[in-house]
Structure 1
């Protein structure tokens, strides 16, 4: 039998139930719609971002370090190079991966992970594992267990625990980590700068900073050429810290930097360094500087100075390359500038006689006083230089005048950096303003002007080179990783004086060695030319010259008929039995002779042993 249709009373009674059912239906539909919308957003709109976050948790960007180019001497001896090393670092994600940490800790304790979970909570598990790591690492690192635990608990993504770990030690550590079930601590490749030269040529080579960028010397000068481009690779690890090879991305190989070959041959440099060291200790001078160049090309053959850079002090502000960074009053070696100006402009002639007087002279107009070490009387222009007459040189300078003196001083390269490019080079000092009476009398003889040893060496190089000033050349060639070679050519600056004037000056300088103040610079079977210089030492703090304290120097060239080298020796405040013994001809000239003999012998050997230069890549 069919049931009777509900009457109005029943319908009114069931209406609230129907409303509740409809409301529940709408709530369920809304909920399902919200879930569907959220799933769509996650799967379509945010899938890329979420996948990246998931990958980032276990993915690591591995930097493949590029080697900084080596610095080598002319013959290829390594002076600075990069060495493969490792650094030890923490991985915060893995150190806090509780499941994997629990399994590692269970293996360490020899129990099952399930049993360990029942015994220790998550926080205690991590703390116990970090305690184990601290004990293991404290045995190989200088930090205490407490310091290591603090680093392990850090919120930083990673902390470098050890740097510059050699490859052999890193291999031993890897074996130890496997045995001790170490997880979350890893070794990665990096490089370290090594200096086999140690303190040899240290002020020229310079140094690099913590990021292996040049900050001094050749390292700074050639930083763009020496610096390579690091490679990269992405790897992914599972929760246990094992790399997943199938997720390894393509490797971008590093591009190593180019090698820089210096013009300096360390065999000669070592000999010059030894001479410099002996001279420094024997004379008890504040500093000793020796510079040797090849005049025809401006090539720096050797550059030594004492005191050395303090290798234990990384503060670059304490480093001083004495050959380029400490100008001094040169004294009589500056007199060639006065003579070059006079000869070039026909203010004097080589055979002309100059009255050098009877040791003392006072200019009746300018009221300046000058003196010589001995009565010289009438001297030729050559004799004025040979006997280093201050009086005769002043009389020549009066004909030359201020403008011409400044012009020739500038031509010789004084008052401006040489362009060698090393950090800390000073320009020296030239008074380009209005001169006082003392400037007129003092500058022509090497006072009231300051120069660097390298500037003076290059200036005499111009005299040796037919009057052509060269830019100092310290880099011989750049060799790229593929073997392609770029040779750094000599760079002439300008014509300082005529070739005829330069020839006359060379003749004068030979006379200084044969007849004058530079006799101790002579060598058998080699024609030498050069000039002595002695100046009183000026104290900038007391603003006066110090009694009994001198700067002595000798600069010259050999052989004089076809100069192959120019050498300058400078000693700052050398000590002797008496102040009369502290003269450039007595103190600096013998050192010059020793350096010249070593250099000439070395050049003969070097010319018999040609330097090998790599062929350009890709050429037949």
Structure 2
């Protein structure tokens, strides 16, 4: 046995073991003590006093803790307050960009021209096909419009993934495709711009791209107006990413229902396009345009360009079709500018309505020989007959009665070198040569007298004839009437400038002379029984890109004002490069204007003239 084990055994032997009697005595003592403590009356027992140093320690800990807490709060709120606020804002704030549709665009009668709608787009990913491509093409073809299995197979070969197959699918088509459960076939839902009238007003409306940004027409020029008020929304969120209701504005899901209303009359637009298409086809012309303006305020009731495009499928069209050439392209107006020049001469007092001018058929200016289109003279004719015969020679004689400087200043008053400020993108200003060049050479005055040697846009010509119709005021051609609600109530309207450029009495005299062009002159093809209409034909040489004129290329046009007894509407028809032997303003453009005027009379309820 080791020494340590021996010591433990000895100590156990020496320790007294309790007997049964001792155990009972101890238990009774403990019990009696518990009973005596329970039975002792209150107040008899005195708790042992807490040492003073313990109280001091507790209070010291509490004071130090309060000081530390206060210091920490000072650090967090005062010293680091701004920094922590920024951190909290970045962690809690979230920028929501809820889908807010662009405003709809409607015509003057409330017909929808552009709106947002839910669109189903079909994509295929050949790399994910689990069936033969032939089987997938055969399954999709009956559902899709005008796409054979062979067409689809060719599309499948374009690339391995992300091939767009069809857009604008109906709900029924989308449901049928979903039921096929084909791997590698994907249907996407998105809101897209929709143009229910297709190409009828595309040159006016324009289109939006895949990012829903306007790229042409009103969609571009009125981009800010088309966007609704709520562009983005900042809200607070919890640590779990849930939006805190208290920080969500009450009207977050509301947006005003205002629409952009145009001055356009869709019915007249359709009639004008049909009339223009017929003549373009008949004369195999390059392009054409029709403009109808209410001269009282500049409202455009119709603006047609051909050829055009379908804004729903703009990507299938040539880029050059996206511009509206009535505001972006310059041309020499030719004889349609002669009524404007007559007004300038009348206002200058160098002629009167009964003034007689001798037309010999030719005149030489600065060594240049100028002829009438007919190559013949008209003899002694008054001012109305000058317009009826569209005499170039007589116009040169009339405008030479003004000094070159005076004539130039009067042309500047017409704002030929300025834009009309129409609410369409891409407008260019007209081109009038500098005063130095114009006054230095007599040929400049001569060619300008019959509408050549300078250029303007078709819209500018309509604006100038509007001044003849409305008593001499230059109004702003425009398409946007304003913002209206679903009830048609106008909530906002753009303001346009008005400028007096021609004496009211002079403008009236010129309009009455233009009536004789229709009744007795080159505009007879636009006669409408019981209605008094003024007009002027134009057949101008087409300027080349490097100066001079293009051989066998011309622009034919006809401008009309009606009704003569109370002039209000201006109609312009322009056809560029008609083909054939009998291509003049009277034969190509005037019939278009006549059809448009007939539609205008019917749609606007213009009563027959009292006298004719």
Compute the TM-score of the two structures, normalised by the length of structure 1.
0.69
Equivalent position of 2:557 in the other structure: 553
> Is residue 65 of structure 1 aligned with residue 135 of structure 2?
no
> Is residue 572 of structure 1 aligned with residue 576 of structure 2?
yes
> Is residue 425 of structure 1 aligned with residue 427 of structure 2?
yes
Residue correspondence of structure 1 range 80-479 to structure 2 within 5 A: 80-85=114-119, 190-228=190-228, 229-230=230-231, 250=248, 252-253=252-253, 255=255, 258-309=258-309, 311-313=314-316, 319-357=322-360, 359-363=361-365, 366-372=366-372, 373=374, 374-433=376-435, 434-435=437-438, 436-479=441-484
Equivalent position of 1:103 in the other structure: none
**Superposed displacement of residue 546, structure 1:** 2.9
Residue 582 of structure 1 aligns to a residue in which SS? coil
Using the alignment, how far apart are the partners of 2:214 and 2:315 within structure 1? Answer: 18
**Superposed displacement of residue 516, structure 1:** 1.6
Choose 596-605 or 324-333, whichever is displaced more. 596-605
Equivalent position of 1:8 in the other structure: none
Describe the shift of the 1:49–1:420 C-alpha distance in structure 2 as closer, same or farther (beyond 3 A). closer
Kindly report the root-mean-square deviation, in angstroms, between the aligned alpha carbons of the 2 structures.
Answer: 4.5
Using the alignment, how far apart are the partners of 1:553 and 1:163 within structure 2? Answer: 40
> Is residue 599 of structure 1 aligned with residue 573 of structure 2?
no
Equivalent position of 2:12 in the other structure: none
2:538·2:584 contact (CA, 8 Å) conserved in 1?
yes
Equivalent position of 2:589 in the other structure: 588
**Superposed displacement of residue 345, structure 1:** 1.6
**Superposed displacement of residue 234, structure 1:** 7.8
2:307·2:321 contact (CA, 8 Å) conserved in 1?
no
Using the alignment, how far apart are the partners of 1:360 and 1:291 within structure 2? Answer: 34
Using the alignment, how far apart are the partners of 1:519 and 1:267 within structure 2? Answer: 26
Unmatched segments (≥5 aa) in structure 1: 1-39, 90-131, 152-159, 181-185, 607-620
Residue 450 of structure 1 aligns to a residue in which SS? coil
Using the alignment, how far apart are the partners of 1:163 and 1:587 within structure 2? Answer: 40
Describe the shift of the 1:389–1:172 C-alpha distance in structure 2 as closer, same or farther (beyond 3 A). closer
**Superposed displacement of residue 477, structure 1:** 2.5
Using the alignment, how far apart are the partners of 2:119 and 2:316 within structure 1? Answer: 23
Describe the shift of the 1:231–1:489 C-alpha distance in structure 2 as closer, same or farther (beyond 3 A). closer
- Give the counterpart of 1:563 among 551, 564, 567: 567
Describe the shift of the 1:477–1:379 C-alpha distance in structure 2 as closer, same or farther (beyond 3 A). same
> Is residue 79 of structure 1 aligned with residue 113 of structure 2?
yes
Describe the shift of the 1:173–1:166 C-alpha distance in structure 2 as closer, same or farther (beyond 3 A). same
Using the alignment, how far apart are the partners of 1:206 and 1:404 within structure 2? Answer: 42
Deviations 1:69-127 (A, max 9, x none): 000111111110011358999xxxxxxxxxxxxxxxxxxxxxxxxxxxxxxxxxxxxxx
Deviations 1:333-370 (A, max 9, x none): 1112321111112111111111212x12224xx33322
2:272·2:595 contact (CA, 8 Å) conserved in 1?
no
Unmatched segments (≥5 aa) in structure 2: 1-71, 141-151, 608-612
Describe the shift of the 1:52–1:135 C-alpha distance in structure 2 as closer, same or farther (beyond 3 A). farther
Residue 503 of structure 1 aligns to a residue in which SS? helix
Bigger Rg, which one: 2
Describe the shift of the 1:256–1:219 C-alpha distance in structure 2 as closer, same or farther (beyond 3 A). farther
Deviations 1:480-507 (A, max 9, x none): 5898633536735211110110011011
Describe the shift of the 1:212–1:355 C-alpha distance in structure 2 as closer, same or farther (beyond 3 A). same
Describe the shift of the 1:536–1:216 C-alpha distance in structure 2 as closer, same or farther (beyond 3 A). same
Residue 297 of structure 1 aligns to a residue in which SS? coil
Using the alignment, how far apart are the partners of 1:388 and 1:459 within structure 2? Answer: 19
Equivalent position of 2:548 in the other structure: 544
2:515·2:532 contact (CA, 8 Å) conserved in 1?
yes
**Superposed displacement of residue 248, structure 1:** 11
1:64·1:254 contact (CA, 8 Å) conserved in 2?
no
Equivalent position of 2:33 in the other structure: none
Using the alignment, how far apart are the partners of 2:445 and 2:606 within structure 1? Answer: 47
Describe the shift of the 1:62–1:507 C-alpha distance in structure 2 as closer, same or farther (beyond 3 A). closer
2:95·2:232 contact (CA, 8 Å) conserved in 1?
no
**Superposed displacement of residue 443, structure 1:** 0.9
Deviations 1:445-485 (A, max 9, x none): 11111121111111111101011111112112212589863
Describe the shift of the 1:79–1:351 C-alpha distance in structure 2 as closer, same or farther (beyond 3 A). same
Using the alignment, how far apart are the partners of 1:88 and 1:360 within structure 2? Answer: 68
